Amino acid sequence: MVGMAMTMAANAATTAYTADDLFIGFTQVGNTSDYLVNIGQASNYTSLAPNTTVSLSIGDINTDLVAAFGSGYATDSTVKWGAVGTTRLSAVGSDPAHTIYASKQGDATTATPWNTGSSSTLSTGDAKISTMTSGYLGKTSTANSIVGLLQTNIGTASNQAFASFQPGGANATGGSAGLSFGLFNPSILAGGASGISSVTSSLALFRLTPGAVAPSQPIGTFSIDSSGSVSFTSVPEPTSAALGLMGAVLLVARRRRC
């Protein structure tokens, strides 16, 4: 993947962050640690040709996941994962201010998209996502991945850990308590009886841009295997049948306005 095919040295580094970077976070029920990985700019994913699959070069996160959650983490029903990112207050490339990327369990071609909303609505979530990035920036990465950060004492709000923004977390507070980042009901997390490596526990990634309430844009699907390898598949082009149906709907709408 352009911009991400980096060689990860087996040395710790200081974590970095740029607005519109995406993160994948891992958490486990009852664990006092979680794991957060910066997977690069959103444009690395939105710019892919339709139906393209790439492997993420993000270091040896498998070793980190085993250290955090045990050797059976991939099939452990108590382990969850999710993806999120934001531009926050300024536009980045083609993403306007308050653009949010967020995952949902399933495949991006079939999962029901999150709804977008006004800038003020999305700012509820992007402010919390931005706070999470503050908890990531400038820390010491693991020796296995220069973009991976093991976060401890995740029950403490001031730690700004990934898990603290999930339902029941210390930063899941206020009128939107119990939601991921105060916006996503019930959660951006995926997982289940067969674990995060199951096909049913893939992460569908959606792009939410500020505007009228409407379904968000599907970008693609993240998957992880039992050895910790993460891949991303962009959504395919609409089929001719789908395009035909869309054209028919638009034609009917136009006639009704006439």
Kindly list the averaged pLDDT for each block of 10 residues, start to end, along the chain of length 258.
Answer: 43 95 97 97 97 97 98 97 97 97 97 96 94 97 97 92 94 78 94 95 98 97 97 83 40 43
Task: Give the separation between CA 159 and CA 151, rounded to whole angstroms.
Answer: 8
pLDDT at residue 254, rounded to an integer = 45
Task: Give the separation between CA 13 and CA 147, rounded to whole angstroms.
Answer: 8
pLDDT at residue 257, rounded to an integer = 42
pLDDT at residue 10, rounded to an integer = 59
Q: How many helices (H) and strands (E) does the chain have?
A: 4, 9
pLDDT at residue 177, rounded to an integer = 72
The residue among 81, 79, 74, 120 whose CA lies nearest residue 97 is 120
pLDDT at residue 97, rounded to an integer = 97
Quote the DSSP letter at residue 215.
B
Name the token pair of 40: 């690069």
| Claim: this prediction has a pTM higher than 0.85 | yes
pLDDT at residue 240, rounded to an integer = 37
